[in-house]
Amino acid sequence: MTRVQGLGAPWGSSHTELLPRGHRVGDWAVTEPIGAGGWATVYAGRRADERAARAAAARGEPAEVALKIMPTAGLAPRQARNVAEAARREVEIGVRAGHPRLVRLLDSTVLTAPDHPALDGAVVLVMERATGSLRDLLDSGVTEAEGGRLIAGICEGLAHLHRVGWVHADLKPENVLVGADGSVKLADFGLATELTGTHGYAPPMGTLDYLPPERWKAQLGEQGVEIRPSADIWALGIVIHEVFASGAPLFPGATPVARGAAVQEYAAGRAPLRMAHGIPEFWRALAADCLAPTHAARAAHTAASLLERITDHGAGEPGPARRIRPVRLGRTARAALLAVVVCGAVSSAVWTYTAGEAAEEPPRRIQVFNAERACQDRADRDPRCSLGLAVDPLRPYTAGNVVPTRVWHADVLDTDCQLLRGEAVVDESDLQSTHWFRVRLPGPDPDARAWLPAVRTKDRPELPRCPAPAES
- Residues 395 and 268 occupy one common structural domain: no
- Residues 104 and 162 occupy one common structural domain: no
Residues 76-110 have pLDDT tens digits of: 666 777 777 788 878 878 777 778 899 888 888 88
pLDDT of residue 335: 24
How many structural domains comprise the chain? 3
- Residues 210 and 303 occupy one common structural domain: yes
472 in a domain, yes or no?
A: no
- DSSP structure string for 223-257: TBEEE-HHHHHHHHHHHHHHHHTTT--SS--SSHH
Does the model's pTM come out above 0.85?
no
User: What SS3 state is found at 174?
Assistant: helix
User: Shortest CA distance to 87 belongs to which of 102, 101, 67?
Assistant: 67
- pLDDT band of residue 327 (cuts 50, 70, 90) is very low
- Residues 88 and 142 occupy one common structural domain: no
- CATH number of residue 195's parent domain: 1.10.510.10
Residues 434-450 have pLDDT tens digits of: 889 999 998 788 889 99
Q: Tell me which residue range forms the domain holding 373.
A: 354-456
Distances from the Cα of 329 to the Cα of 143, 333, 420, 467, angstroms: 20, 8, 12, 6
- Residues 204 and 114 occupy one common structural domain: no
Residue 279 has pLDDT above 80, yes or no: yes
pLDDT of residue 301: 95
- CATH number of residue 121's parent domain: 3.30.200.20
Residue 39 has pLDDT above 80, yes or no: no
**What percent helix, strand, coil does the chain show, rounded to 5?**
30, 25, 45
Examine the fold and report which residue of 105, 128, 151 is the final residue of a domain before the chain moves on.
Answer: 128
- Residues 109 and 44 occupy one common structural domain: yes
Residue 349 has pLDDT above 80, yes or no: no
What does DSSP assign to residue 195? -
Q: Which residues carry out catalysis?
A: 170
CB 96 within 8 A of CB 78: no
- Residues 119 and 150 occupy one common structural domain: no
156 in a domain, yes or no?
A: yes
464 in a domain, yes or no?
A: no
CB 243 within 8 A of CB 286: no
- Residues 369 and 288 occupy one common structural domain: no
286 in a domain, yes or no?
A: yes
Rounded distance between C-alpha atoms, residue 349 and residue 340, angstroms: 7
Residues 165-195 have pLDDT tens digits of: 999 999 999 999 998 888 899 988 888 888 8
- Residues 263 and 277 occupy one common structural domain: yes
Residues 198-221 have pLDDT tens digits of: 778 777 778 899 999 998 887 776
- pLDDT band of residue 429 (cuts 50, 70, 90) is low
pLDDT of residue 323: 42
323 in a domain, yes or no?
A: no
Distances from the Cα of 113 to the Cα of 67, 71, 106, 203, angstroms: 14, 11, 21, 30
pLDDT of residue 337: 20
pLDDT of residue 460: 85
469 in a domain, yes or no?
A: no
- Residues 103 and 171 occupy one common structural domain: no
Rounded distance between C-alpha atoms, residue 114 and residue 110, angstroms: 12
- pLDDT band of residue 362 (cuts 50, 70, 90) is low
CB 339 within 8 A of CB 346: yes
- Residues 113 and 204 occupy one common structural domain: no
- pLDDT band of residue 356 (cuts 50, 70, 90) is very low
- pLDDT band of residue 17 (cuts 50, 70, 90) is low
Examine the fold and report which residue of 312, 343, 367 is the final residue of a domain before the chain moves on.
Answer: 312
pLDDT of residue 38: 63
334 in a domain, yes or no?
A: no
Rounded distance between C-alpha atoms, residue 352 and residue 157, angstroms: 42
- Residues 114 and 157 occupy one common structural domain: no
Greatest C-alpha distance within the chain: 65
345 in a domain, yes or no?
A: no
What order do you get walking across the sheet with 184-186 strand by strand? 132-133, 176-178, 184-186
pLDDT of residue 364: 86
Examine the fold and report which residue of 128, 154, 170 is the final residue of a domain before the chain moves on.
Answer: 128
